[in-house]
Structure 1
Amino acid sequence: MLKKTLFCGCALFALCAELQPASAQVAPQAQDPKAGEATSSTSTQDQNGDEIIVTGSARQQRRFDVSYAANALSQNDITKLAPASMADLLGKLPGIQVESTGGEVQNITRIRGIPTDDGLAIFQQDGLPLFHDVNGNFFRGDSLNRYDLMTDRVEVVRGGPAPIVASQAAAVINNVTVSGSQTPRGKAQLTYGTTDLYRLDLMQSGPLGANTYYAIGGFLRKNGGYRDNGFPNDRGGQIRANIKHDFDNGSIKFTANYLNDHNVFYLPVPVADPRQPTRSLDPWLAFFTGTANTPALRNAQIKYRDSTGVVQSLARDLADGRHTEFWNVGLQYEGDFDDWHVSAKGGYTSGKLRFDALYSTSNPVDGAANATLTAARAAQFPTATRLGYAIAGTNGTQVYDPNSDSGLVMQSQYRYVASNFSSAQGDLSVTRKFDTGLGSHDLKIGAYGSFYSESNFQAYQNYLMQVKGQPQLLDLVAYNAAGNVVGYVTDKGVLQYTTTLNKGNSDNSVLALYANDTWELTRGLRIDGGIRYERYHLNGYALTSQAYNLGDTATLADDAVQGFNGGQQNRTINTGITNWTVGANYDFTSHFGGYVRASHLEVPPSGTIGYAINPVVITTKANQYEVGLKAAFGRSYLYVTGFYTKFNPLNSSFVPFDPATGAAQATVPFISQVIVKGIEADGALNIVPWFSLGGSLTVQDPYYSNLQSTVAGLSAAQVEGNQVIREPKVFGNIRPSFNFSSGDAKFELYGRFEYTGRRFVDFTSFTELPAYHSYSAGVTATYKSWQFQVVGDNLTNARGLTEGNTRTDTLSGQGTRIATFGRPVFGRNFRFVLSKSW
């Protein structure tokens, strides 16, 4: 199916190119004067060089005029930042801390210290989400929203009116797509990377007829990967297209896109010997290229017991990675009727996810100690006198001595998740601007609704393996005094067959009503306020399971295998939430201004609650306060925002891994207040034409307060005032750029210094993730319609760790002051990009 779709896409690209004159040149496009409409140029600036924002306000505005923190990144901006992923792009902005070490998608994004993996950031495409929930079943916004040449610009709103603009939002990331115009334009782009990356991007747009325009584009990509898996890493592609027709008073646009992509997921790995924390594991598991992913799991057999008592065996391939396939169609209408502006948007998404990944579980252990003949093992194999290791599947004949390597062995968990999902969403709003005796009002009233559903199947099982890159699976073998095999603790490397088994479904709906008014009292003084009420209906079921002994006396691996027992948990939740915001903006001059804002955010339980077993159900609530100062002089600017957020309550509950049983423990309820105080700055200095200096800086203090539940092994006193896990107090970047030309050729050299401060892996702030920094650089050469770019990241191979090992260290750390287990940053790599515009 993918091959056929991509072939058709390439054919369409070629056809569209043939429809245009060969001599067509790129022409700059003026901003569309119609309120609220996105434009279709590679610039986000008006004629005065000011950035234009369409996200978060009733009508498009200059960035300087909005009373909240926002950024608009054009294609040119993104090319210069040269991000490796969407998360990497967002991490260049103030107030957004990311862990982009998991691969291309499903990375960690935290907005202003918000301690959730998604930062309550809602991804949109042209002002509407592709899937309603902030987090789907093992996918989130950056899994569905991929950057390519069909992305005209990316707009990011932090705080401010986000709770009114979108559901569940502390931030909004809006991908504005390219629309066609009367002027034909197109671009082709080839990328090669030293990670064995090959990528083709194409885009073509132009007129179809009278007042009718088209745009089509997408990408094809294969990437060997930043780490050496021993199998292909990322492969797949995307195609997006739209047709737009302009009326005298507005426009209508039909959109469609299709994604079919595989992405391998990188999980944390041990980087130091837990027995001797100063001893690096680099000789066996290289910091920058090593991974526990292995070709030995290209044909993993996952066994579980179904509800009829039949043992099922799923054949899975770790190389499939996160396989996301979905299609979306949408319809957008904008129209002006005298003083009224009407906006109607609708979309439908249908897709599936098949997720194969190898998760880290417990720290590696001493191989000899792990092979001790314990009483439990001796009881199973009464004639055994010792246990020893062998390469999995060799019937104990290919002996393995851990001391020939690091002396360690480790557990890892193969996770398979299957989900089908769909989401229908629509938004209808009317906006009217009118004058009164005391200033003017710009009033917007609207309604949003969505029906969204997900199915769920999860099966996890544990393996025993070497501590090295591309590890071989190990069998732990029982031998008698004569050296003969009398049994196995494992079965072809499987330490425990399926230890976690879930199946269920959720069908959900939401209806939201919202209103926002911007009141301009005098020139430069504006007060705005908004409210959004949402009503949720969550409905789902989850099949229950228990452990069964499958009866194979030759191995212990099947002694406690999960199977469905015929039970079912049904769950229905009806809840309503109310979000609001109020702000004031005053521009002292055309170059200096400031604003204040307060907002209230409520986030209801996710739709995934419907198919969870015994979940912690809670509505997260937050009060947010902001004070901003802004200065803009042509291409130079400085935006500084102070923020204070109090979550009360915040659900940080988690599911720990039990190394003794190899299974997930019961959910640990961790309900507390979280307070985040900070300041973020975003600036650019452009004094001379040949040099510019940009950068962002965030200084914050995110900490826990008032733990409200009793957590086993953790007291409130151990947590009170501690730094929120995995959140730095300081992070930012500096970006110098030099420009010069020679004849018709233009050159730009740029660099980037990035810094991430100290973090902790656990609630008790015991185990530290040290601060780290990195250097990146690039050069772009442009000659007429041709452009060549070279980009290098982490040029000095600076070391940094993210995440820790969340399966086991969240409560009290790793037993060491400095983390010995984590997800390393990527090493030095380069990308070469050649593009042609017409």
Structure 2
Amino acid sequence: MKNPFLPSAIAAAVLTLLNQTAAQAQTAEAPAAEPSKEVSKEIQQVVVTGVASARGVRKVDSAFSITTANEEQLKQAAPSSTADIMKIVPGVYAESTGGQSGANIEVRGFPSGSDSPFVSVQMMGNPIFPPPTLSFFEGSSAFRLDDTIERVEVLRGGPSTIWSNGQPGATMNFILKEGTDTPEGTVRFTTGTGSMRRVDMYYGGKISDGWYGSVGGFYRKTDGVRDAGFPADDGHQITATLTRNLDQGKLTLYARSTDDKNAFYTGVPLISSNGGHTISEFPGFNPLTGTLMSGEMRNFTIEAAPGKTLTKDLGDGRGLKATVFGANFDQKIGDWSVSNKFNRFDGDLNTIAMFTGNNPLSMNDYINAAIASANSNPATVAAAGGKLATAGTATYVHGGAVNGNQQVVQAGLWAVEKQLKSFTDELRVSKEIFKGNTVTVGGYFADYSSHDVWYLGNSHLMTAVPQASLINVTLNNGVIVSKNGTDGNVFYAPVASYDGRNTAGFVSDEWQVNDKIKVDFGMRHEQQKISGTISNLMSADTDNNPLTVYNNGTSMPDGSNTYLSRTDSANSFTIGGNYKLAKDTSVFVRANRGHTFVSFDDIRGAGTQAAANDRNLLPTPKVSQYEIGFKTASQLYTAYINAFHTEFDGIAFSQVLSNGQELHSVSGSKGNGVEFEVAVRPIENLQLQLTGDYQKSEYRDNPATAGKTVQRQPKLQFRFTPTYRIPFGEGNAAKLYATYTSIGERWADQANQQYLPSYRTIDAGVLFSLGDKIEVRLAGTNLNNELGLTEGNSRLTTGNTGPINARPLFGRTWEASLLYRF
């Protein structure tokens, strides 16, 4: 393996040489123009994510890649969900078209096919739930946006490999508002697409000498951006903080309670042609606004076992019912600085949702396939008295015959219960050893669990139209293919309880060599112990009738369990340096090596203890990253640009197909690219911003995929955002803004068989500020109604041509809000 310290050693030498050269050639600088208030905030922006000190470091002086967004920048981005914030972060591609929860988030050069294994979500510097991803859970699903958020910081790679839960990919850290000496209160009313009704409130201020508090939250009800025929998003949240200012320190307590139900949107019927390069509307189905879900199937039944049926509600979707409590303590004690962060998370993150299966086909073709399947099964033929089926009848569940040319689809109505709990704590102690050199030592502890009850499969036959109708099918030999729309059994129904514990120790050294050079180094050793008790499964006919083929072979626990466990340990490091070319301009270099551990789902998929312990089957993936970047901020322009190289060694992939089959593979990857965040202010009140990245990332170490492009990640993506502010009258202004987004072509799968074409969208908005008290905002997204795909059919492995299921962007949406500040 290449020596990871070599690039950093060379970089350190270059920084020293630059410093000596600059010292010899120093000349007087002309005084710069006084920056505007907004630009001054950007120049002085302090980030606290990825640094040893609780007091943080200026963004332009940080030796790593980090994107920040304050409250106004978040509102201007108009994110449709927490995951959708990542669209403002170069090097990250977020597929947030599933709704509020269940996003797929890819990080540049990191091989992932679903969920967000390389994105950690934090609140106040604490991971909300330590593992970033489990099946049917990804970190952004455990967090909801509202007006209690002061800002977000998104760190890519860098020193995050040694702090907190050691995420080598991206860390999204939300910082809450806290009370100050100046009381502040807001109330905001919002309406928009899907009959949205939402109110956000916040108030913060001083309680007494040294004590400050804040409280806020939201209530929302909406039919959703895709009309399912029933309320889709319904929920509320409340967040509070209590802060005590200490002599040379601070203690902040925070708590959040969320109860939110969100529809989860999966694929819809589309037409694919030209090898997937051309995507068009499926006849009778608007892919921008439609969904197969309907009121007819909202309350559906699961045949779980003989004599056991369950009723579930699609309106529950992928919801969050959880509480988070935490505390941040920072104190200076003589020459020592002590910091401790902990939180406790307890919540249900259930998934009651539709998952599309096979591609659309005609009713006649479906019946012919059903006849062939029934006639090839000896048990079914015997139950029919030896009579073979020669024809079938299809009727709507609500009455009436189905035309043989009617296009139909199959979709599973799945139910997954997940009860998650976790406790995390991180302690840091720092001391200046000699002038400019500070050493930090500390430890991290996490204890977490997940209790799962799954019912996958439960296929339903329906028309390929928005708000689909369910279909019954019987064959002329007495075989019942579909009853009340159900045409498939529950094919996977494990009950499992998992426990995990991570402990880590770390040490870092930060040295301000002189007023221009700062270097840092850190190491971390971490151990993970996970275990699971998973039910063994059997197959049975829930009604003991071979003619009802839709429930034959139903998966269910057999009453016994398998206990599996796994222990791993790994080392991580980071080394970097920052050289100041001028007061607000610097260059940085960074190298790190991080890791990820296997998860609960990995050991469950292994099946046996021997397989769970097999490091070839389930490796501990390692990732090396190298970066060199440039940062500058001035009245005229702001620029954050960095080049990166990643090398990923071994990660286990799994994929659940439409028939319940699980595919497993192990691959590595490598990638190179450049990220950019550039803003130019050529005249007063006008800003032109360009953000994005170009990368070339491909798989390696697996003959089946080596040389293929890493799935779901575009080579080029960028966002161009002009903003113009128009002052009028005393303290009044109108701000116009728009964003042109370009997402390049991608592959939906590792084998590069499912092509996803590039797409372009236009968003726009206007904000009216009427004095200091009132704000009126009107914003729209995808104003050009672009038909872009974020995901192909993840339940199939082959290329798609003709009728397909895939998940497109939401169509044109709008939102209007009125805010009153008091």
What is the TM-score normalised by the length of structure 1?
0.87
- Structure 1 position 168, deviation (Å): 4.5
Match of 1:489 among 481, 494, 515: 481
Which residue matches 2:530?
Answer: 538
Which residue matches 2:758?
Answer: 771
Match of 1:574 among 550, 567, 572: 567
Match of 1:830 among 810, 814, 819: 814
Match of 1:387 among 377, 389, 392: 392
- Number of residues of Structure 1 aligned to a counterpart in Structure 2: 759
Greater relative contact order (Cα < 8 A, sep 6+)? 2
The one-character-per-residue Cα deviations of 1:774-828 (angstroms, maximum 9, x if unpaired) are 111111110111000100111111110111011113xx32257xx9431010111
Match of 1:524 among 516, 519, 539: 516
**Contact 1:108/1:118 (8 A) holds in 2:** yes
Structure 2 residue 454 is the aligned partner of structure 1 residue 458:
yes
Which residue matches 1:35?
Answer: none
- Distance in 1 separating the partners of 2:465 and 2:589: 53
Which residue matches 1:625?
Answer: 626
- Distance in 2 separating the partners of 1:449 and 1:419: 22
Match of 2:467 among 470, 481, 488: 470
**Contact 1:44/1:52 (8 A) holds in 2:** no
Which residue matches 1:356?
Answer: 352
Counterparts of residues 77-92 of structure 1 (less than 5 Å): 77-92=73-88
- Structure 1 position 279, deviation (Å): 9.3
Structure 2 residue 338 is the aligned partner of structure 1 residue 342:
yes
273-282 vs 728-737, which moves further: 273-282
- Structure 1 position 80, deviation (Å): 2.0
Which residue matches 2:138?
Answer: 140
Counterparts of residues 132-211 of structure 1 (less than 5 Å): 132-169=130-167, 170-211=169-210
Structure 2 residue 741 is the aligned partner of structure 1 residue 749:
no
Which residue matches 1:702?
Answer: 697
Shift of the 630–651 alpha-carbon distance from structure 1 to 2, 3 Å rule, reads same
Q: Gapped runs of 5+ residues in structure 1?
A: 1-42, 481-485, 659-663, 708-715
Query: Cα RMSD between the aligned structures?
Result: 2.2
- Distance in 2 separating the partners of 1:642 and 1:99: 24
- Distance in 2 separating the partners of 1:280 and 1:180: 51
**Contact 1:72/1:155 (8 A) holds in 2:** yes
**Contact 1:541/1:610 (8 A) holds in 2:** no
Which residue matches 2:19?
Answer: none
Find the residue that maps to 1:588 and give its secondary structure: strand
Residue identity opposite 1:687 in structure 2: P
Q: Gapped runs of 5+ residues in structure 2?
A: 1-36
Find the residue that maps to 1:64 and give its secondary structure: helix
- Distance in 2 separating the partners of 1:47 and 1:559: 65
Which residue matches 2:11?
Answer: none
Find the residue that maps to 2:162 and give its secondary structure: helix
Shift of the 409–118 alpha-carbon distance from structure 1 to 2, 3 Å rule, reads same
Residue identity opposite 1:808 in structure 2: L
The one-character-per-residue Cα deviations of 1:151-203 (angstroms, maximum 9, x if unpaired) are 11101111111111232512211101111112111111111112211111100
Residue identity opposite 1:256 in structure 2: A
**Contact 2:422/2:448 (8 A) holds in 1:** yes
Which residue matches 1:221?
Answer: 220
- Distance in 1 separating the partners of 2:283 and 2:388: 38
**Contact 2:492/2:556 (8 A) holds in 1:** no
Which residue matches 1:449?
Answer: 445
Q: Percent identity?
A: 27
Residue identity opposite 2:795 in structure 1: R
Which residue matches 2:651?
Answer: 650
Shift of the 538–46 alpha-carbon distance from structure 1 to 2, 3 Å rule, reads farther
- Distance in 2 separating the partners of 1:323 and 1:692: 38
- Distance in 1 separating the partners of 2:274 and 2:740: 35
- Distance in 2 separating the partners of 1:275 and 1:140: 34
Residue identity opposite 1:557 in structure 2: Y
- Distance in 2 separating the partners of 1:113 and 1:87: 19
- Distance in 2 separating the partners of 1:275 and 1:692: 40
Residue identity opposite 1:324 in structure 2: L
Find the residue that maps to 1:496 and give its secondary structure: coil
Counterparts of residues 339-738 of structure 1 (less than 5 Å): 339-372=335-368, 373-374=371-372, 375-376=375-376, 379=381, 380-381=383-384, 382=387, 384-392=389-397, 398-403=400-405, 407-436=406-435, 440-460=436-456, 461-479=458-476, 486-550=478-542, 551-609=544-602, 611-612=604-605, 614=607, 617-634=618-635, 636-658=637-659, 664-665=660-661, 667-707=662-702, 716=703, 719-738=705-724
**Contact 1:542/1:610 (8 A) holds in 2:** no
Residue identity opposite 2:85 in structure 1: L
What is the TM-score normalised by the length of structure 2?
0.89
Find the residue that maps to 2:618 and give its secondary structure: coil
- Distance in 2 separating the partners of 1:609 and 1:647: 18
The one-character-per-residue Cα deviations of 1:461-511 (angstroms, maximum 9, x if unpaired) are 11111111111111111236xxxxx34112221112211111110111111
- Distance in 1 separating the partners of 2:715 and 2:311: 45
Shift of the 45–736 alpha-carbon distance from structure 1 to 2, 3 Å rule, reads closer
- Structure 1 position 626, deviation (Å): 0.8
- Distance in 1 separating the partners of 2:233 and 2:636: 38
**Contact 1:122/1:166 (8 A) holds in 2:** no
Find the residue that maps to 2:231 and give its secondary structure: coil
Which residue matches 1:821?
Answer: 805
Shift of the 339–355 alpha-carbon distance from structure 1 to 2, 3 Å rule, reads same
Which residue matches 1:20?
Answer: none
- Distance in 2 separating the partners of 1:58 and 1:86: 26
- Structure 1 position 590, deviation (Å): 2.1
586-595 vs 772-781, which moves further: 586-595
Find the residue that maps to 1:806 and give its secondary structure: coil
584-593 vs 374-383, which moves further: 374-383
Find the residue that maps to 2:319 and give its secondary structure: strand
- Distance in 2 separating the partners of 1:273 and 1:47: 48
**Contact 1:342/1:431 (8 A) holds in 2:** yes
- Distance in 2 separating the partners of 1:702 and 1:46: 37
- Structure 1 position 230, deviation (Å): 1.0
69-78 vs 448-457, which moves further: 69-78
487-496 vs 799-808, which moves further: 487-496
**Contact 2:152/2:172 (8 A) holds in 1:** yes
- Distance in 2 separating the partners of 1:299 and 1:152: 39
Which residue matches 2:27?
Answer: none
Counterparts of residues 232-247 of structure 1 (less than 5 Å): 232-247=231-246
- Distance in 2 separating the partners of 1:109 and 1:348: 25
- Structure 1 position 276, deviation (Å): 12
- Distance in 1 separating the partners of 2:712 and 2:341: 38
Shift of the 256–207 alpha-carbon distance from structure 1 to 2, 3 Å rule, reads same
- Distance in 1 separating the partners of 2:307 and 2:573: 52
Residue identity opposite 1:84 in structure 2: S
- Distance in 1 separating the partners of 2:226 and 2:558: 40
Residue identity opposite 1:77 in structure 2: Q
Find the residue that maps to 1:79 and give its secondary structure: helix
The one-character-per-residue Cα deviations of 1:744-803 (angstroms, maximum 9, x if unpaired) are 211110110000000112333233111000111111110111000100111111110111
- Distance in 2 separating the partners of 1:815 and 1:741: 53
Structure 2 residue 44 is the aligned partner of structure 1 residue 50:
yes
**Contact 2:275/2:800 (8 A) holds in 1:** no
- Distance in 2 separating the partners of 1:273 and 1:639: 39
Shift of the 119–679 alpha-carbon distance from structure 1 to 2, 3 Å rule, reads farther
Residue identity opposite 1:417 in structure 2: V
Residue identity opposite 2:701 in structure 1: N
- Structure 1 position 601, deviation (Å): 1.0
Residue identity opposite 2:391 in structure 1: R
- Structure 1 position 273, deviation (Å): 7.1
Match of 1:327 among 320, 323, 326: 323
